[in-house]
């Protein structure tokens, strides 16, 4: 391994030596040679311990042209140019620095800083991209007022966008024009943005509760305007919701969203000028699935909500990332729940948490919601910071209640508007507003790992009591061997044998009639005695997934089947099905009994679900789906991924056979000719129909092939067409449909991403060779993260059978791609490298091969810190 930078430690935080009041930026845009002029109004920070400290500005890949201090040109020995720093000693307490810099946006393939995509200019500055644009104190606790003047060729770049309000514009010589933007709110550099190019707009107005008129604008490439209506409607819905639910209004004249196809993540909340991956903007029923529509709604809302939780109140340092991300994810989840189906939303969020965050917490990159150290901050935009962070906020919400939470956020904004703060400040506002003590609760921010909660229930016939004994334990994680007990809200109910909910009265209390309540666990082991219970109840535990834990209760299979039929809490009802199926699949895997038929009890329970119409179809669809291989993997050691895949596949086939008739009946009942609309009700029916189709596709019958063919040919929407194509993708003879689809959609990049993604998930022999071939398809590009994710990341992290093929070719392929990408885009390379994270958990022969590939990557000279951090931590797990 090679020399690498030192990790940054949370406890090393010191305030910046200087503050910046104002920044005036001027960009002379040229693809290969952009000139950036920056005028900084600086003053010493009284909070810094050393009153003569030098000014150390950050900068990467910049060519310095000149520096002026208070109008006077600095000579070369007035400053020191380091690798990524520019140091100026002995500055006066107040001064003005003017720095001219040259950068090359065209060759910037990292998609961080200023870059060119499809001939247009875009920026991405979070977390540390601004230093790739100009020299700056590139840290979030330096908040300044920005103005931006953009100068560019009028023909090639007719549209010039910046943060804040457009205040002036004009024309210059050589066919150039300029626009000046002023952002009245002070902000950290990571929220800076600029866009220039040939773009068109879909615009609307929104009037805030206090009567302010806001322009809502979505900027896209010509030809895409018709695909922006859903994003626009989502933005307006988010604006109304934030007023209603949190009392938060928009604060500028214009709210802009710009879509770009080359983008590292989902979207970015730059002040007044959000920049989005096209995937989260563009949708028409023919091109986008229900899942895509849903994703757009929540990402648009997420970025909009950042205007308060992230921008107006920002993070003091990057260790506090979850301050804005956990809270904003919580807010977007609540928004989606309020405008759609709360139950479906909750189950979906829990599935994501378990599939992405639980493995993270159990693996080599485990870190607390507020991490203690990092090598590369980009590696910490994780499921832990986002999804677990949201669960932590949700637990506070559960503890203080709906109104208490609103009191807490009101106080938070009152105290901290315009400031860069910490997670402690957020928790303090919640605690103070509700007059409670959250000291123990804060362990959720500092301890990594997923706690396990073990519950036992004892019924005492004579005393008419039901006693729950609850133990909690959090396993050791890298750097944290011992854990303290958490404060865990445990929501529960008790059902009698008829399915009725029993009043929950703890010993010493009087009956209030409540049948669902939240216990607060605080100790490693404690006991709760429920009184007045007249028969042995079935507990319904962790209702609504009240805490991000793994819960064990020794349910009999019959009790799970009972809860599937009766639990009034939709999450708990789904969870009963999930627990039953997980248990069954793990048993079959362990006993090598993969090919036994589905148990009669399960077939009967599923048949009941398929033939009733009391329960929301969307929920039934979720209950019928088998737990994913990634989820099952977590519960095993020395895993043989191929066998795991086969066991799951065999159960699916057996269920399809046993349930053929009710599946066909449900399919036919839900197959509708009603024109497509994206709404929770239609989407729910489509999801059940397509789950039925997915099972039926396991049956090799002409009748089913016909059904698939019809759905593929006649669908008026992408949800149905793609569901049929996904089935063909796994079948002999499916290639003609894949070819047909490609010829139809070859010019639509987002649709082609789906096509790449399907093939990356293929079960059929030769899947890896196919993926390799597809890398030379004209629609594929290694420089485009969406393409890389669809084809390569999907194969390496979700095609368990082929990625883990015994010949090891899947591993070699992944390592080769990590190395190739590392030179192009380290952030994307590092994310792909995480596909090796579970290497210590597979059986020994695969483990050896995975380790060898990890070592090969780690040895590569010049490896980025991004990838180095991931692979070195992964290798560390084997020590
Ligand atoms: N702050 C963004 C969000 O959560 C995510 C983000 C962080 C991002 N770094 C990025 C997006 C880099 C794109 C590129 O909404
Ligand atoms: Zn965010």
Query: Using one digit for the tens of pLDDT, what is the confidence trace for 485-519?
Result: 999 999 999 999 999 999 999 999 999 999 999 99
Domain co-membership, 491 together with 579: no
Domain co-membership, 544 together with 561: no
Classify residue 80: in a domain, yes or no. yes
3-state secondary structure of 418: coil
Domain co-membership, 539 together with 467: yes
pLDDT at 42: 98
Domain co-membership, 173 together with 55: yes
Which residues does a 6 A CB cutoff place in the pocket of ligand 1? 124, 126-127, 264-265, 267-269, 302-303, 325, 381
Of 266, 330, 376, which is best to mutate to test ligand 1, by the most ligand atoms within 8 angstroms of its C-beta? 266
Phi, psi (rounded to 5 degrees) for 123: -120, 155
Domain co-membership, 576 together with 531: no
* Number of continuous H segments (helices) and E segments (strands) in the chain: 29, 31
- Percentage of the chain modeled with pLDDT above 70: 100
The last residue of one of the domains, among 505, 527, 554, is 554
Average confidence (pLDDT) over 156-177: 98
- Could you tell me the maximum CA-CA distance found in the chain, to the nearest angstrom? 95
**CB of 453 closer than 8 Å to CB of 490:** yes
Residue 679 CB partners (closer than 8 Å, separation 6+): none
* 761's tokens: 């998930």
CATH number of the domain residue 1 falls in? 2.60.40.1730
Cα angle, residue 659 at apex, residues 653 and 662 outer, rounded to 5°: 140
CATH number of the domain residue 565 falls in? 1.25.50.10
- Percentage of the chain modeled with pLDDT above 90: 98
**Nearest protein CA to atom 13 of ligand 1, as residue:** 265
**Annotated catalytic residue, options 98, 128, 297, 303:** 303
3-state secondary structure of 715: coil
Q: Whole domain around residue 84: which residue ranges?
A: 1-198
Distance between Cα 270 and ligand 1 center (Å): 10
Average confidence (pLDDT) over 563-590: 97
* 790's tokens: 């669809």
Q: How many residues does the chain have?
A: 879
Domain co-membership, 562 together with 513: no
Structure-token match 């003091």, residue found: 316
Asked if the model's pLDDT at residue 93 lies above 50, the reply is: yes
Average confidence (pLDDT) over 676-691: 97
Q: How far is CA 765 from CA 70, 249, 711, in A?
A: 69, 55, 26
Q: Which ligand is nearest to the CA of 326?
A: 2
Classify residue 357: in a domain, yes or no. no
Note the Cα 139 to chain centre separation in Å.
Answer: 23
**Nearest protein CA to atom 6 of ligand 1, as residue:** 268
Distance between Cα 255 and ligand 2 center (Å): 17
Classify residue 864: in a domain, yes or no. no
**CB of 93 closer than 8 Å to CB of 163:** no
For residues 448 and 19, what is the distance between their CA atoms, to the nearest angstrom?
Answer: 34
Cα angle, residue 300 at apex, residues 866 and 353 outer, rounded to 5°: 55
Classify residue 823: in a domain, yes or no. no
The last residue of one of the domains, among 670, 699, 728, is 699
Q: What pLDDT band is residue 595 in, cutting at 50, 70 and 90?
A: confident
**CB of 339 closer than 8 Å to CB of 230:** no
pLDDT at 1: 46
pLDDT in tens, 601-621: 999 999 999 999 999 999 999
Asked if the model's pLDDT at residue 362 lies above 50, the reply is: yes
Known catalytic residue at 269: no
* 567's tokens: 């639990």
Average confidence (pLDDT) over 559-565: 97
pLDDT at 3: 59
pLDDT at 690: 98
For residues 152 and 175, what is the distance between their CA atoms, to the nearest angstrom?
Answer: 8
Please state at what angle helix 342-352 crosses helix 321-339, rounded to 10 degrees: 140
Q: Which ligand is nearest to the CA of 126?
A: 1
The last residue of one of the domains, among 666, 699, 732, is 699
3-state secondary structure of 523: coil
For residues 478 and 497, what is the distance between their CA atoms, to the nearest angstrom?
Answer: 45
Q: Is 612 exposed, middle or buried (0-12, 13-18, 19+ CB in 10 A)?
A: exposed
pLDDT in tens, 619-671: 999 999 999 999 999 999 999 999 999 999 999 999 999 999 999 999 999 99
3-state secondary structure of 548: coil
DSSP characters over 356-415: IIHHHHTSTT---SS-SEES-GGGG-SHIIIIIHHHHHHHHHHHHHHHHHHHHHHHHHHH
Please state at what angle helix 617-624 crosses helix 600-611, rounded to 10 degrees: 160
- The stretches of 567-659 forming alpha helices (DSSP H) are 570-590, 600-611, 617-624, 629-633, 641-658
CATH number of the domain residue 508 falls in? 2.60.40.1840
Could you count the other beta carbons within 10 Å of the beta carbon of residue 672? 12
**Nearest protein CA to atom 2 of ligand 1, as residue:** 268
**Nearest protein CA to atom 3 of ligand 1, as residue:** 268
Q: What pLDDT band is residue 594 in, cutting at 50, 70 and 90?
A: confident
Q: Which ligand is nearest to the CA of 266?
A: 1
DSSP characters over 246-284: H-----SSEEEEEEESS-SSSEE--TTEEEEEGGGT---
pLDDT at 2: 52
Distance between Cα 358 and ligand 2 center (Å): 20
The structural domain count of the chain equals: 3
For the chain, the straight-line distance linking the first and the last C-alpha, in angstroms and rounded, comes to 15
Domain co-membership, 475 together with 623: no
Domain co-membership, 541 together with 471: yes
**CB of 34 closer than 8 Å to CB of 28:** yes
* 815's tokens: 């390592």
For residues 501 and 540, what is the distance between their CA atoms, to the nearest angstrom?
Answer: 10
- Residue 120: its H or E element: strand 120-124
Domain co-membership, 599 together with 536: no
Strand 94-103 versus strand 63-69 pairing type = antiparallel
DSSP, res 627? P
Of 381, 385, 830, which is best to mutate to test ligand 1, by the most ligand atoms within 8 angstroms of its C-beta? 381
3-state secondary structure of 439: coil
Classify residue 638: in a domain, yes or no. yes
Q: Which of 606, 596, 529, 527 is nearest to 564 (CA)?
A: 606
Residue 394 CB partners (closer than 8 Å, separation 6+): 330, 333
Q: How far is CA 261 from CA 117, 258, 771, in A?
A: 7, 10, 22
Distance between Cα 216 and ligand 1 center (Å): 21
Distance between Cα 190 and ligand 2 center (Å): 12
* Mean per-residue pLDDT of the chain: 97
**CB of 48 closer than 8 Å to CB of 137:** no
Domain co-membership, 88 together with 181: yes
Classify residue 153: in a domain, yes or no. yes
3 or 544, greater pLDDT: 544
Domain co-membership, 186 together with 48: yes
Alpha-carbon torsion, ordered 732, 695, 796, 581, to 10 deg: -150
pLDDT in tens, 197-246: 999 999 999 999 999 999 999 999 999 999 999 999 999 999 999 999 99
pLDDT in tens, 38-69: 999 999 999 999 999 999 999 999 999 999 99
Classify residue 230: in a domain, yes or no. no
Could you tell me which residues are beta bridge partners of residue 501?
A: 495
Asked if the model's pLDDT at residue 319 lies above 70, the reply is: yes
Residues around ligand 2, an ion, CB closer than 5 A: 325, 328
Classify residue 712: in a domain, yes or no. no
Asked if the model's pLDDT at residue 593 lies above 80, the reply is: no
Asked if the model's pLDDT at residue 764 lies above 70, the reply is: yes
For residues 394 and 397, what is the distance between their CA atoms, to the nearest angstrom?
Answer: 5
Average confidence (pLDDT) over 109-115: 99
DSSP, res 594? T
Domain co-membership, 599 together with 677: yes
pLDDT in tens, 444-484: 999 999 999 999 999 999 999 999 999 999 999 999 999 99
pLDDT at 29: 99
């Amino acid at each position: 391994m090679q020399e690498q930078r030192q990790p940054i430690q949370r406890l090393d935080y010191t305030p910046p030596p200087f503050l910046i009041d104002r920044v005036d930026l001027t960009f002379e845009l040229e693809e290969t040679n952009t000139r950036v002029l920056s005028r900084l109004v600086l003053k010493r920070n009284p909070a810094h311990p050393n009153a003569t400290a030098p000014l150390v500005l950050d900068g990467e890949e910049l060519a310095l042209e000149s520096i002026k201090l208070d109008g006077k040109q600095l000579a070369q020995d007035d400053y020191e140019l380091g690798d990524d720093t520019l140091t100026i000693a002995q500055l006066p307490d107040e001064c003005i620095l003017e720095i001219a810099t040259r950068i090359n946006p065209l060759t910037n393939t990292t998609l961080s800083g200023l870059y060119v995509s499809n001939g247009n200019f875009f920026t991405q500055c979070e977390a540390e991209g601004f230093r790739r644009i100009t020299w700056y104190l590139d840290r979030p606790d330096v908040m300044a007022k920005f103005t931006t003047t953009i100068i560019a060729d009028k023909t090639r770049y007719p549209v010039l966008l910046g943060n804040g309000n457009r205040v002036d514009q004009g024309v210059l010589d050589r066919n150039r024009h300029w626009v000046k933007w002023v952002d009245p709110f002070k902000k950290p550099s990571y929220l800076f943005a600029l866009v220039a190019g040939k773009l068109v707009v879909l615009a609307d107005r929104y009037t805030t509760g206090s009567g302010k008129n806001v322009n809502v604008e979505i900027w896209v490439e010509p030809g895409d305007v018709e695909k922006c209506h859903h994003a626009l409607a989502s933005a307006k819905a988010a604006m109304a919701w934030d007023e209603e639910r949190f009392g938060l209004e928009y604060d500028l004249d214009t709210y802009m969203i710009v879509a770009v196809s080359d983008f590292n993540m989902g979207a970015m909340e730059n002040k007044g000028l959000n920049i989005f991956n096209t995937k989260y903007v563009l949708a028409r029923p023919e091109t986008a699935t229900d899942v895509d529509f849903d994703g757009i709604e929540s990402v648009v809302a997420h970025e909009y909500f950042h205007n308060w939780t992230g921008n107006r109140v920002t993070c003091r340092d990057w260790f506090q990332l979850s301050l804005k991300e956990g809270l904003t994810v919580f807010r977007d989840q609540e928004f989606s729940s309020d405008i759609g189906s709360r139950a479906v939303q909750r189950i979906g969020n829990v599935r994501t948490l378990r599939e992405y965050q639980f493995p993270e917490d159990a693996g080599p990159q485990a870190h607390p919601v507020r991490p203690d150290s990092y090598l590369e901050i980009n590696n910490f935009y994780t499921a832990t910071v986002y999804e677990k962070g949201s669960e932590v906020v949700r637990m506070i919400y559960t503890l203080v209640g709906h109104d208490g939470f609103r009191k807490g956020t009101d106080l938070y904004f009152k105290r901290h508007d315009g400031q860069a703060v910490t997670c402690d400040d957020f928790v303090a506002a919640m605690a103070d507003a509700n007059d409670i003590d959250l000291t123990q609760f804060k362990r959720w921010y500092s301890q990594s790992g997923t706690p396990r909660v073990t519950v036992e229930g004892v019924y005492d016939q004579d005393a008419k009591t039901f006693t729950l004994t609850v133990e909690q334990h959090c396993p050791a994680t890298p750097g944290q061997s011992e854990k303290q007990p958490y404060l865990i809200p445990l929501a529960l109910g008790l059902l009698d044998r008829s399915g009725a909910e029993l009043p929950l009265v703890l010993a010493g209390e009087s009956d209030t009639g409540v049948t669902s309540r939240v216990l607060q666990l605080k100790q490693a082991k404690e006991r709760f005695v429920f009184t007045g219970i007249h028969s042995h109840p079935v507990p319904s535990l962790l209702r609504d997934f009240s805490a991000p834990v793994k819960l064990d209760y020794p349910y009999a299979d019959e009790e799970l089947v009972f809860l599937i039929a009766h639990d009034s809490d939709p999450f708990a009802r789904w969870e009963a099905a999930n627990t039953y199926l997980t248990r069954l699949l793990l048993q079959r895997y362990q006993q090598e009994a993969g090919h036994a038929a589905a148990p009669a009890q399960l077939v009967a329970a599923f048949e009941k679900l398929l033939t009733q119409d009391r329960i929301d179809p969307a929920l039934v669809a979720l209950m019928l789906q088998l737990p994913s291989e990634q989820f099952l993997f977590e519960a095993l050691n020395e895993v043989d991924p191929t066998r795991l895949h086969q066991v799951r596949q065999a159960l699916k086939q057996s269920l399809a056979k046993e349930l053929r008739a009710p599946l066909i009946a449900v399919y036919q009942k839900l197959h509708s000719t009603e024109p497509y609309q994206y709404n929770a009700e239609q989407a729910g029916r489509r999801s059940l129909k397509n789950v039925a189709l997915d099972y039926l596709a396991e049956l090799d019958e002409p009748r089913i092939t016909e059904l698939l063919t019809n759905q593929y040919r006649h669908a008026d929407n992408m949800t149905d067409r793609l569901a049929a194509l996904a089935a063909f993708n796994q079948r002999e003879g499916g290639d003609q449909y894949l070819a047909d689809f490609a010829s139809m959609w070859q010019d639509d990049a987002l649709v082609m991403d789906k096509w790449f993604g399907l093939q990356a998930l293929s079960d059929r022999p030769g899947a890896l060779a196919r993926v390799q071939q597809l890398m030379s398809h004209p629609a594929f590009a290694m420089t485009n993260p969406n393409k890389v994710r669809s084809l390569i990341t999907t194969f390496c992290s979700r095609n368990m059978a082929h990625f883990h093929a015994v010949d090891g070719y899947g591993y070699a392929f992944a390592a080769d791609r990590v190395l190739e990408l590392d030179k192009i885009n380290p952030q994307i390379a590092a994310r792909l490298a995480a596909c090796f994270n579970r290497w210590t958990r597979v059986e020994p022969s695969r483990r050896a091969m995975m380790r060898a590939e990890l070592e090969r990557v780690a040895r590569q000279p010049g490896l980025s810190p991004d990838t180095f951090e991931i692979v070195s931590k992964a290798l560390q797990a084997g020590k």
